[in-house]
Amino acid sequence: MKRSIPPENSLYPEFQRYSQQLRERITMLRKERGLTQEDMQSFGLSLRQYQRIESGETENITLANLYRLAIAFELTPAELMDV
């Protein structure tokens, strides 16, 4: 059975919702743990890079950065992405 990939725009609203929820979760976790945006530099993210993640300027977070964020929040990547 051949599966086709839906047009990008048909998945885009769902992707945007998930991306927004993930950004909100990242911000919430940072604040809950008493970390500043500047503190995230200790985990291999530049300040600007982290600010772009929280603000949504970066829509696609790399797997490497998801891993860094998970370490910062003492979670597994799967736990981090469970929104």
Query: All domains of the chain, ordered by start, with CATH?
Result: 12-78 (1.10.260)
How much is the pLDDT for 12?
82
Residues 32 and 55: their CA atoms lie apart, in Å, by: 18
Global confidence as pTM: 0.83
Mean pLDDT for the chain?
91
How much is the pLDDT for 65?
97
How much is the pLDDT for 8?
59
Residues 51 and 57: their CA atoms lie apart, in Å, by: 8
Residues 77 and 83: their CA atoms lie apart, in Å, by: 12
Question: Do 33 and 43 contact (CB within 8 A), yes or no?
Answer: no
How much is the pLDDT for 5?
62
Q: What is the mean pLDDT of residues 26-30?
A: 98
End-to-end CA distance of the chain: 31
Q: What is the mean pLDDT of residues 29-35?
A: 98
